[in-house]
Structure 1
Amino acid sequence: MHISLDAVATTALALLLLATGAGLKRRLNWLEHFCVPTPVIGGFGFALLAWLLRDMGIVTFELDTAMQSPLMIAFFTTVGLGGSLALLKKGGKALGVYLVACWLLALMQNGVGIGMASLLGLDPLIGLMAGATSLEGGFGAAAAFGPEAEALGAQGAATAAIVSATFGMIVGGVIGAPIARWIIDRRQLPLVSEDVHDLERLAEAERPTQGQLDGRVLLNVLAVVVPVMVLGVWFKGLLSSQLGIILPSYVGAMFVAILLRNLNDRFQWISLPDNALSSVGDVALGIFLTMAMMNLKIWQLQEMGGPLLLILLVQTLAIVMLAIFVLFRLLGRNYDAAVLTAGFIGHGLGATPNAVANMSAVCDHYRVISHKAFIIVPLCGAVLIDIVAIPAITWCLNAFA
């Protein structure tokens, strides 16, 4: 039997799975103990069920995830509207350290992938597809570079790219938060965010006291968020057509949102309460990530065989070692550094929403928000990584074809 769900039905299913994941997390202590993100619980659970039913020849599912992209753009718009220049400056040295670590990760993943593929007798470009192309690059880069590698003679490169991105999405969303929690508990780190008190005082000085969250407040916030989303997509298209600069849609929206936020800080045009922004952003992120997880085709991991899986396991071990023994120490060995480690693993293996979900899981567990982490990770994971990552992938494609 084949079940096809349209966009509305798919969104409804994602909401039910998200709510189910939240309920299971409240009832099952081990899910809370390992800081498993709520969207991963419901979304991956459905993906696993779909794989089993397909493997048994009972039913296959076709999901219309048309709402996935708008929800992602909505989330990063709320991130941008929460980012005043005063807050962005809080990144400081940590922003530079984190960004350099991301660039080194891209080079390392390419080297590990190509080297492992050569040792295992595979085409080096298959290893490249199991490197930064699909891990730090995510599904977008995998879909773009996979066919290019196949055109250069690497048979199965497109499939390897998507399989690697699928693996990274799953693993990056599962292990990031537990590793950060292990670091915090093992080192008994003080549960204090470095800038949290300064940011709270800054927020009190810059915006009115937050009132009750009701329909009118949410309507006003949505009346800002949705037009900014449209302007962001338009801005992204303008950069592409006029300057040849390719950006993800959500990055354009985030930059427009940051600009509006800082102009609003000066001229006080509109009220943007933090509690309303975070509510809209949390719902958008939860539904989007649940959709992404529930649409994973886990059976593709079976079809590629052992060598590709071995490469991906080595990649996973490499990023975990880099995060624990290098990044965490360079960032100051404190609570913020541990939360940033969860984000680094999330988008280093999967995608920026994975990183945000990992950090949210850690902060929710300890009930201390790392403002610095939520500023640095989206900025680096969204576009700054590509300054080095995309040229490196392109060079490797030509060098090892």
Structure 2
Amino acid sequence: MELAMACATYGLVMGGLIGGPVAKVLLKKKNIKPANEVQEKELPVEMFESPASNRRINVRNMIETLTMFAICLSMGNLLYEYCKDSWLELPNFVWCLFIGVVIRNTINRTSKYVVNDHAVDVLGNTGLYLFLTIALMSLQLWELEGLATQVLIILVLQTVLMVLFAMFITFRVMGSDYDAIVLSAGHCGFGLGATPTAVANMQSITDKYGPSHKAFLIVPMVGAFFVDILNNLFIKLFVTYLS
């Protein structure tokens, strides 16, 4: 557990550090104009691209947001227990994410109620910071003394590989344009850390250079939902057939 948490923490930190420099290098090297210089009037601001909201956070919308979180957690846990030990077995948090997707889309299509994205962003970041704090406080890093050198070498090599992959593969495969640069920065955050790191990377780019609808459509959907299903399948494969 200590080894896994140490590596995961390194990934969260480093994934957030390399995304911005990678995007900046690509912008200068490829001489690509940011979106706000090309089509500023054609690109309206979307929720994930600018989490700040004109709606103020108050007690009511915080309670409403916490209620939706509670529904996602409780219903996700019920689905997890129901599908346990079956071919539909998925990690608990995947079911919670799925319920969140259903609730958000149902509200948008059937109700005039508007979810306060600023409240969601604040509560989500608060939960992430608390999780990291509790995880770090419980680490027993002295147990890694015999593995520190080997683990550090692996992590550094993975960081270099992620940078090269984002710049020379992700950027080219996704179209070699501004959207591809934002996606490359997000891929750095997601490849080493997690989806919140990727979104934070992309927000730092789009806040300065302009929005990227494609990046904020692909990364949250793939990184926060679809990849978890594939992870579950591959983990079962390794545990069942290769252990």
Report the TM-score range of the alignment, normalised by the length of the smaller protein: 0.7 to 0.9
Give the one of 227, 232, 235 matched to 1:385. 227
How far has the Cα of 1:399 moved from its partner? Answer: 7.7
Corresponding residue pairs, total = 232
AA of the residue aligned to 1:361: S
Structure 1 residues 302-381: aligned runs within 5 Å: 303-366=146-209, 368-381=210-223
1:191 aligns with 2:30: no
> Given residue 175 of structure 1, which amino acid in structure 2 is its aligned partner?
I
Q: Quote the residue 1:237 is aligned against.
A: 81
Quick one: distance in 2 between partners of 1:220 and 1:390?
32
Taking structure 1 as reference, are residues 345 and 245 closer, same or farther at Cα in structure 2, changes over 3 Å only? same
Which whole-Å CA distance do the structure 2 matches of 1:395 and 1:164 have between them? 22
The aligned counterpart of 1:174 is 17
Identical columns (%): 30
Are 1:289 and 1:354, in contact at CA under 8 Å, matched by a contact in 2? no
Q: Any gaps of 5 or more consecutive residues in structure 2?
A: 48-52
Q: Which secondary structure state, in structure 2, belongs to the residue aligned with residue 333 of structure 1?
A: coil
User: Using the alignment, how far apart are the partners of 1:262 and 1:231 within structure 2?
Assistant: 16
2 CA distance for matches of 1:356 and 1:202? Answer: 13
Deviation string, structure 1 residues 89-146 (Cα, Å, up to 9, x no partner): xxxxxxxxxxxxxxxxxxxxxxxxxxxxxxxxxxxxxxxxxxxxxxxxxxxxxx5xxx
CA distance 1:378–1:290, shift in 2 (3 Å)? same
Whether contact under 8 Å (1:179, 1:342) holds in the other structure is yes
Q: Tell me the amino acid that sits aligned with residue 164 of structure 1.
A: C
Structure 1 Cα separation of the partners of residues 46 and 228 of structure 2: 32
Whole-angstrom distance in 1 between the partners of 2:148 and 2:65:
49
The CA deviation at 1:328 is 0.8
In structure 2, how many angstroms separate the alpha carbons of the residues matched to 1:373 and 1:345? 13
Partner Cα distance (2:125, 2:237) in 1: 36
Pairing 1:1-400 to 2, within 5 Å after superposition:
143=1, 160-192=3-35, 200=44, 212-213=55-56, 215=58, 216-240=60-84, 243-249=87-93, 251-268=94-111, 270-273=112-115, 276-277=116-117, 279-294=118-133, 295-296=135-136, 297=139, 299=141, 303-366=146-209, 368-386=210-228, 388-392=230-234
Residue 214 of structure 1: how far off its partner (Å): 5.3
| Cα-Cα RMSD | 3.7
In the TM superposition, residue 233 of structure 1 has moved relative to its aligned partner by: 3.5
Q: Which has the higher contact order (CA 8 A, sep 6+)?
A: 2
* Equivalent position SS for 2:35: coil
Structure label with greater radius of gyration: 1
- Aligned letter for 1:247? P
Aligned twin of 1:110 = none
Residue type of the partner of 1:286? N
1:290 aligned partner, one-letter code: Y
Partner of 1:40: none
Contact in 2 for aligned 1:343/1:354 (Cα 8 Å): yes
TM-score by length of 1: 0.48
Distance 1:200 1:218, change over 3 A: farther
Q: Which runs of 5+ in 1 are unaligned?
A: 1-142, 144-158, 204-209
TM-score normalised according to structure 2 size: 0.73
Letter in 2 for 1:237: E
Please report how far the alpha carbon of residue 347 of structure 1 lies from its aligned counterpart in structure 2 after TM superposition.
2.0
